[in-house]
Every structure is written in C-alpha cells, then in structure tokens.
Structure 1
Amino acid sequence: MTRPPRLSRRQKLTFAAIAVVVLIAVALGVGLGLGLKHHDDDDDEEPVPTFTSSPVPIPTAVWEPRVNASWQIILNSVLDINPTNPSVQPDVEVYDIDMFIHQNTQVIPSLHKLGKKVICYFSAGSYEPNRPDSSQFPSSDIGKDLKGWPGERWLDIRSKSIRSIMASRIDLASKMGCDAVDPDNLDGYQNENGKDLTSDDSADFAIFLANEAHKRNLGIGLKNAGEIVKAVLPQMQFAVNEQCAQYDNCGMFSPFITANKPVFHIEYPDGAPRSVSATDKNEACSAPGSNGFSTIIKGMNLAGWAQYCDGRTVETKVIS
C-alpha cells in the first residue's frame, strides 16, 4: 500500500490558518443572517398576495339574503310594473335587474312596495360601449375583447381611474335605492384579458368593490370567479354563479352555503327558453356541490322567461 506524503510543519500551519479563516467567515455570515443559501430555495416558498384594499367593517344595515331565497334575474329589458298599483310575477323574494336601464324608472320603488329586495347588476370588470359613463374610461385601461360579446372589452381593474368609475356606479346604485349590487366580470384572470390580470388582482378588486358597497349600506355578491371565494367570502353577502352545473364546479361556491350565505345559481341548458328537457333540468338542479343553491334556468338573453327546479315556468312582463 502506498502511503500519502507526509506534510511539513510549515504546510500543517498553513492549512490550520486557512481552516480558522474559513470558520470565522462562516460564523460571521450566520451571525449576520448571510448564511449560504441556494437560490432555488426561494422557489419552494408560497407567494403571499399583497392586497391594496383592506376590508372595512360591514354595517349592520347591510342586507343579508337568506340561503334558498327565491329569485328572478332579468338583464336585457325594463320590468313592466305599474307604479300606482304594482304587481309582478313571479312572486319571489329577490329581483336581480340591470342598473342602468332602470335608472329613470319607478321599478325599484315598485318592487320595494311589493316587499321585494333588488340587486342591481353592472359590469365591473369590462368596458361596454353603450353605457352612460362609457366616455370616462381611459383607453390605456381597456384590454382585449370578451369572446362572444362584441364591443365589450376587459378592464385593468388595478387602475385608479377604473376603480373611481366603479365607485361612482355603486354610488348610483345607492341613490337608486338598490339593496345590493351584482358586479359582473371579475374573472378576467381566467381569460386573455390583455392586462396580465391575476386572481389576486380580482380578489383585491372584489374587496375594493365590497368596501364601496358597504360604505353605502349596500350588500354585494361575488359573480363567478370561484378561485377567489376563500379570499373574499367574509366580505360578500351572496354569490351569483353561472353554469357551475355545466362546468362541474359548483363545489367551489358551496362555502357560501356553509357560511349561511345564498348562492343565486343560473343554468342555460339547450332548449331554454321554452323547451328544457327533464334531463337538463335535473342536471341543473341536482349538480354535485349545489345543495342549498337558489337555482334558476334561463335563456342566455336573460329575458323574462324562467324555470324553477319545482317545474314552474314563469314569464315576467317586460318593456321590450
């Protein structure tokens, strides 16, 4: 066996000195919080979302609908109600209506006379060219088209200008006497929006909208955007969901029911309006995860026709 060469006394002293220097350097690094760390370690850390909107306390005056509340939603027409002697069908607890087209009508006070609550719909996450305030939107905050909706485009919901416009819309809802708002299109992160929006952006925007609503004693619902339910649930009074049965994701919204908050659920099966098969109705009304939902079957135009899970069909009178 070949023996390793013997080290001289000078070599031993040199190696010992080097070892002492290395130990001191390591000790200083640890003491200063500069210990050696592989850069890839950062990849394992869960990113913490930074929200610019902090929830405000919810006033006791804010309306909180009950689970299983009955409802109707009509967004393309003005309800035809005689303000002197109001009546409306169906006789449900809640009406969800387009805010802008009812702005100069007596529909909301008429519904209130009948003991109904009114949710006012507007799009919070998209630009629509024919709304009264459309000229206020900066072109730099307007993104890509919404597929299937000509002229409608995604918005940069982080923009101060956009948030100011939406606060004004919520203020209008308050002045009109709405009980709550239904701000649509908070799910830009799921689409090619042209503004690099993320789910954290949508959650932050939803909290901002909730704050603005609550400051005015209005309720607010989360429209779709199931991925942000956990982040925004405490600030929401209800959810409005479209097609969770069709896309098999109703369970994403069931935390609302657990929190004793309703899910106003819409399905658009083939044949609606007028002719919906028993199979389609059952799938809409019995989807996994939808227990306790307030389900309604509608045509995609969201006009006066509706069908309920008990088999009733209704036709609410509207002004075409």
Structure 2
Amino acid sequence: MRRPLLPAALLALLLAGCAQSPDDEPSGPRWQPRPGTAWQWQLSGRLDTSVDVPVYDIDGFDHSKATVAALHRQGRKVICYLSTGAWEDWRPDSGAFPKSVLGRGNGWEGERWLDIRRTDVLEPIMAARLDMCRAKGFDAVEPDNMDGYRNRSGFPLTSRDQLRYNRLIAKLAHDRGLSVGLKNDLDQIPQLVGDFDFAVNEQCAQYDECAALQPFIDAGKAVFHVEYEVPTGRFCAESRRLKLSSLLKKYELGAWRKAC
C-alpha cells in the first residue's frame, strides 16, 4: 500500500526522536522464539489484534509505540517489519537514499533494490530505522529483501557482499537488544544461522525448499513460514514434521490467515 511522503522537517524530528539515549541501552537477554511458535503476520489494512497467538509481525513505520505496548499487554512479542535490502518510495526517509544506491525494481511497485556494497551510505540509514523499532518497543526485527545478490538488482552483487551486509544488519539489531530474523536467503543459511535468532520464509513448500531451513530448527530457533498459493492440505503435514510455524496468507498480507 502506497503512502504519502512526510515533509523533511517531520522526518528529521522522527529520526531525532528515535535516536538512542543512555537510558535506552538494551537490558537482559534477547527474545529467542522457539520452533513451532504460533504467529500472525499483517502488513496491510487495519491491524486485527484479536488473533490468539504469542507473536505479531507488523510494519515498523506504520505502527506506533502505543500499538506495540497494547500488544505487549496482551502477552504478545512484536516483530518490526522493515525493508533493508530495497528502497521504498513512500517511506518517510526515502529521500535519505542517494540515487547512486538505487538499482532495478524488485517486482513491487515503488521498490528498487539497494546497492548493499555501499555500507557507508546504508549503515546510518538502517541504524536510524532500527533505532525507531527500539524506541517503539519492538522485541525483534524482520529485515526484508536480504537476498539481492540472487536477483537482477542492477549491481554486480556477490554472495560475499550479501553475507557482509546481512551480518551488518544482524549486528545493528543485536546492538539495540533486538532479535533479528533471516528473511529467505536460503542458500546462505549455513553461514548465517549463527548470526540470526529466527528465520522468516515465503513459499518454501511451493518450491520444495523447506528442508533448507532445518539448521534453524536444529539450533532451537523458530522458522516463521508463509505460503500464498499452496493449500494447507498440501504443506501443513510437512510443516508440522519440520516444526515450522506455518501460515497460509494472501499476497497483500492483511489480517486473513489460515494456520497449520
């Protein structure tokens, strides 16, 4: 869903207000979701907080500190969805990205792959976004578009570039006391499972790839999994065997869900 850009002055206030202060230093161990943990993933539409699950994954920009606090009062952990590997033209900080780091479209309207080699540019922007998640009280972050090297990004990205960038995002999250999930990027799971606290996967059943997520399960880390086109009767038995946290959702990722 496209949203209007915020004025530059308001953006500056947003980022300033999300900067960490000494009182905001992480305290205590990070949240570690276990295999089989039930969840809800909603990135569009009016948030439905009535789903009786212990984990909600919601858009970090769209929701307020009050919304996160309300979910906490209901006993939920809350994951902050962010795109860290692609630019989105409707985000309030979209103007902070120079044109030189914007690549090809990634298939979604208003989105373009980022040149993840340019950590000099991207690290402070992503740090500010994670400060926002921290300031709003989120427990974890779901960084999206973490596999640009496997796509036609417009840049000559390598697997080494991707590993370096993904580990940077994980470190930025951990430095703020946030758990962090590896989104898709199946080929690099063996190298990255130790850097991430859980995984988020789309369509591993449709493409017969779910076994690749086993390292997370073996490490006692949840795999939050979604299918869009395959009916539950074709993937839930295997999901239960693998201890995945599986849902059937619609592509718009509204409130509707069908759990295994």
Whether 2:226 is the aligned partner of 1:258: answer no
- Tell whether the 8 Å contact from 2:239 to 2:246 is kept in structure 1 after alignment: no
Query: Which of residues 99, 102, 112 in structure 2 aligns to 1:153?
Result: 112
TM-score (norm 2): 0.86
Query: Which of residues 53, 65, 72 in structure 1 aligns to 2:40?
Result: 72
Q: Report what 2:18 is aligned to.
A: none
Q: C-alpha separation between the residues in 1 aligned to 2:172 and 2:204?
A: 28
CA offset at residue 199 of structure 1?
Answer: 2.0
Q: Report what 1:300 is aligned to.
A: 251
Q: Flag the 1:207–1:294 CA change in 2: closer, same or farther, 3 A.
A: same
- Tell whether the 8 Å contact from 2:90 to 2:110 is kept in structure 1 after alignment: no
- Tell whether the 8 Å contact from 1:284 to 1:297 is kept in structure 2 after alignment: no
Point out where structure 1 has 5 or more consecutive residues left out of the alignment.
Answer: 1-57, 81-87, 271-279, 310-320
Equivalent position SS for 2:163: helix
Q: C-alpha separation between the residues in 1 aligned to 2:74 and 2:131?
A: 24
Q: Flag the 1:216–1:288 CA change in 2: closer, same or farther, 3 A.
A: closer
Q: C-alpha separation between the residues in 2 aligned to 1:260 and 1:289?
A: 15
Whether 2:59 is the aligned partner of 1:98: answer yes
The CA RMSD over aligned residues, in Å, is: 1.7
Count, aligned residues? 234
- Give a deviation string over 1:111-157, Cα, whole Å, max 9, x none: 0001100000010000000001000001001111112x122100011
Q: Flag the 1:230–1:105 CA change in 2: closer, same or farther, 3 A.
A: same
Point out where structure 2 has 5 or more consecutive residues left out of the alignment.
Answer: 1-25
In the TM superposition, 1:187-266 aligns within 5 A as 187-266=147-226
Equivalent position SS for 2:125: helix
- Give a deviation string over 1:33-81, Cα, whole Å, max 9, x none: xxxxxxxxxxxxxxxxxxxxxxxxx98521111111010000113425x
- Tell whether the 8 Å contact from 2:65 to 2:135 is kept in structure 1 after alignment: no
- Tell whether the 8 Å contact from 1:69 to 1:93 is kept in structure 2 after alignment: yes
Q: C-alpha separation between the residues in 2 aligned to 1:176 and 1:217?
A: 13
Query: Higher relative contact order by CA 8 Å / sep ≥ 6: 1 or 2?
Result: 2
Q: Report what 1:62 is aligned to.
A: 30
- Give a deviation string over 1:226-252, Cα, whole Å, max 9, x none: 011111111111000000000111111
- Tell whether the 8 Å contact from 2:34 to 2:222 is kept in structure 1 after alignment: yes
In the TM superposition, 1:11-50 aligns within 5 A as none
